[in-house]
Chains A and B, each alone.
Chain A
Amino acid sequence: MLLLRLALRNLLRQKRRNLMLGSAMAIGVAILVTAGSFSAGVSDIMFNKIMRFITGHVAVRFNERGGVMREIFRDRGRILAAVQGDPLIEEWYESVAMFARAIGNGKSDNIILVGMDASKGEATRADWEASFRLVEGDWASLVDGTLENPAVFSQEKARSLNVKMGDVVRVRFRDMFGQDQAARLTVAGIMRNDNIFMQPVVFLELERCKRVLGYRPHETASLSLQLKDARRDAAAVAARLHARLAPGTAVIPASAGGRPVRLYGYRSDPGSREKLLASLRLKAGSQERALRRDGVLVPEGLAAALRLSPGGKLKVSWPRKFGEGPAEASLTVSAVYAGGPPGAPVLLNDRLFYGLYYPDLPAVPSDPDPPAGWAALLSPEWTLLERTFTTEDYKKKYQEIARDKHRGTTVDVSTMYETASDILKLEHVLNVITLSAVLILFFIILLGVVNTLRMTIRERTREIGTARAIGMQRRDVRDLFLLETLLLTVFSSAAGVLAGFGAMALISAPVFHPKDNPLGMLLVDGRVYFLPTFAGIAASVLLIIAIALATAWFPARRAAAMSPAQALRHYG
């Protein structure tokens, strides 16, 4: 109490000097708070606004049979089972999107059709509505059954297509199988957004969008996950998901001529092929034919029962997992084998096998396990790609897909760190800028505090001597100077925080209308966006206080260590 009273009064005593130092500190805090809030704002935009709609924090992508365009996975439920119930995942979205050419009233333009999941909860809905504000129409009309494919267009696209509410827009696109398709959309809403990334986006309700694009309800295109704490958890969630998505062996439990028979794909890469040939004996037909892309190897017993020889037809049918009735296929026998895997399955070249397997996924048999020891030679349900951690490796992975390397559907789990590292680099740059500001401040405060304290201590030497002679302990003298510094810093920080908020209000006052400037994505409603966080501000203030106290420590201790007799004799 005594020290506090002394410290406060001493601060007031050197008004001008302390005001100068205090202002420097306040400006420092204001800069830190502003820079920190700007950084936090940019991260927030990147992580929670842009990232979420571009890739998600974690994404699961599929390319059927390794086709670059064939973004389709046939068993949506299987994938969702791996995602649901993970406490770190806040929300998952099926992302379905397709580039298309839109033809409006005498004008055409490129758009991106995007499915928007209307089945998600109220909160998500509210979030959408806040992110994409409609100037005409309302989101509810996206599920209006009386309209033909109701869709929400951006103001820019509505203008460039010369359409207004209720107009029909025809779209043409190439679907995931490479087929040209066409559809009609009804303009049911027009949205305003300043984020240039979102301008070509046309929203349809997810289920309708999938139908328009040719997906069946049990199929999906890709999955985006939104995490509660993306930065902390993205890698862990991706790793976990990756582990959960390990594939089993693909099997078609078919019947041929009334007999149950299992169809497996065999891996057609040279290594696996060699091993396969080494572990069975060909009874009829050539090795060369057996290994061709349409190779069908029939076991001896089945061949005898159905009187099959190479060139003959094997008719098979199997129950489908989705849809009514059995699926059927007619296979041309390439070879007859003896030995081989237990259970004497029909072995198909994986290209042929996946061509049957994916379009009509078979019902899962009661005992889906592959013959013991054979899993490594038989085709898996899908090909789980290795996790990659850099953009470089990620690109390489997709170049391999483009080179048609994979037979099965590739499943890839990625995080924003690989897929959007360029955008994330921006955050890095901002952090460096903030850090430089901190360093400069550090030196200003260091010099200011040391100098001010030195002067003060010299001026008050006799006073220190008096207090010590009267009975003040060294520790109290040191604490008095530290306390004065602390108080000055706390008051300055408070002023600095206020000034920082003032600065932010000032900077975010003007509204910008960036058209094609990519920096436009850093604006929210056309304004510079700040996200002051309590933790960030507290950290800035604590940092300044820590720096000030650390610098004050040495002069304060020197003042305390003075001999009282010497101090009392001091002149000046």
Chain B
Amino acid sequence: MNIIEIKDLRKDYPLGATIVPALRGVDLAVEEGEFMSVIGPSGSGKTTLLNIIGCIDHATAGSVKIAGSEITALDDRAVTDIRLHRIGFIFQTFNLIPVLDVLENIEFPLLLMKRPAAEARRRAEKLAEEVGLSSYVRHRPAELSGGQRQRVAIARALVTAPAIVLADEPTANLDSVTGASILELMREMNAVEKTTFVFSTHDAGVLRYARRIVRIKDGLIEKEPVAA
């Protein structure tokens, strides 16, 4: 079953008097449990695509179905709810909440879901252990290295057991060794939790981790080669 189904997706950004076409008719289907990479040069539309899949940006035209339901017509409230319950985000710049410590950052989405505090805490502790941060749970983001921060972000993205995790250039701000360990961790999570992963990169080096590769250029998806 396709967890993501995109048809003729277009996205134009208004820029002063002109418009910038960032996506110009994208068709894409992602199956449940995939570990897929979107690769393309800078400015090709990767972030835009992930943002639309992640329901944080609106499509200009076309259809986007997440787990079978069309999201392009939903209001902000419903779309926010989908983000909370079905999607996990991992950002290039980690984007942790600076006033919360590691555990609090990880449990944050659960508390937004109004889960009981004790249950949220237990689950956050488990995730912290899985990403290897058990001894750092009381640290604030400012007291962590880049790799550690991204691990926190991964734990936060997975804590709600979402259907899809979207990672926009998760390794771009990390050195290659740390980046590799992050991708290993993501692949492990994909294997263990059966979560669908979509991550973007412009670094051909990370491609060997992907099981499926989609190339994007100038807002269009290039013909897919057979998955590795």
How far in angstroms is the closest Cβ of chain A from B67? 16
| Candidates B51, B93, B95, B100; contact of A565 at CB < 8 Å | B51
Task: Report whether A466 and B99 are in contact in the complex, using a CB–CB cutoff of 8 Å.
Answer: no
Task: Report whether A469 and B83 are in contact in the complex, using a CB–CB cutoff of 8 Å.
Answer: yes
Task: Report whether A471 and B57 are in contact in the complex, using a CB–CB cutoff of 8 Å.
Answer: no
Which of A467, A471, A473 has the most chain B CB within a 10 Å cutoff? A471
Task: Report whether B57 and A563 are in contact in the complex, using a CB–CB cutoff of 8 Å.
Answer: yes
| Distance between Cα atoms of A469 and B93 in the complex (Å) | 14
Task: Place the interface of chain B in its size category.
Answer: 20 to 34
Question: A2-B111, A469-B89, A568-B91 known; A463 and B97 CB under 8 Å?
Answer: yes
Please name all residues of chain A whose beta carbon is closer than 8 Å to the beta carbon of B95 when the two chains form the complex. Answer: 462-463, 465-466, 469, 568
- B219 interface residue (CB < 8 Å to A): no
| Distance between Cα atoms of A167 and B85 in the complex (Å) | 96
| Candidates A1, A10, A471; contact of B85 at CB < 8 Å | A471
User: CB-nearest residue of chain A relative to B114?
Assistant: A2
| Distance between Cα atoms of A204 and B55 in the complex (Å) | 89
- A474 interface residue (CB < 8 Å to B): yes
Please name all residues of chain A whose beta carbon is closer than 8 Å to the beta carbon of B91 when the two chains form the complex. Answer: 466, 568
| Distance between Cα atoms of A471 and B115 in the complex (Å) | 14
Bitwise, B63-77 to A at CB < 8 A (1) or not (0) is 000000000000011
Could you count the A-B residue pairs with CB atoms below 8 Å apart for me: how many are there? 71
Bitwise, A1-24 to B at CB < 8 A (1) or not (0) is 110011001101100000000000
How far in angstroms is the closest Cβ of chain B from A111? 74
Please name all residues of chain A whose beta carbon is closer than 8 Å to the beta carbon of B76 when the two chains form the complex. Answer: 474
Bitwise, B94-105 to A at CB < 8 A (1) or not (0) is 011111100010
Task: Report whether A472 and B98 are in contact in the complex, using a CB–CB cutoff of 8 Å.
Answer: no
| Candidates B80, B83, B99; contact of A9 at CB < 8 Å | B99
Please name all residues of chain B whose beta carbon is closer than 8 Å to the beta carbon of A563 when the two chains form the complex. Answer: 56-57
How far in angstroms is the closest Cβ of chain B from A521? 56
| Distance between Cα atoms of A6 and B80 in the complex (Å) | 20
Question: A1-B117, A563-B57, A565-B57 known; A470 and B111 CB under 8 Å?
Answer: no
| Distance between Cα atoms of A466 and B77 in the complex (Å) | 16
| Distance between Cα atoms of A513 and B84 in the complex (Å) | 72
Q: A471-B112, A473-B80, A565-B57 are in contact. List 4 more A-B contacts (CB 8 A).
A: A9-B99, A465-B56, A472-B80, A474-B80
Q: What are 24 residue pairs bridging A and B, where the CB atoms are less than 8 Å apart in the complex?
A: A2-B111, A6-B97, A12-B99, A462-B93, A462-B95, A466-B89, A466-B91, A466-B95, A468-B83, A469-B89, A470-B83, A470-B112, A471-B85, A471-B112, A472-B112, A473-B80, A476-B112, A563-B56, A563-B57, A564-B57, A565-B57, A568-B56, A568-B91, A568-B95
**B residues lining the A interface (CB < 8 Å):** 51, 54, 56-57, 76-77, 80-81, 83-85, 89, 91, 93, 95-100, 104, 108-109, 111-113, 117, 156
| A-B pairs with lowest CB-CB distance, top 9 | A471-B84, A9-B99, A565-B57, A466-B95, A564-B56, A2-B111, A471-B83, A565-B56, A565-B51
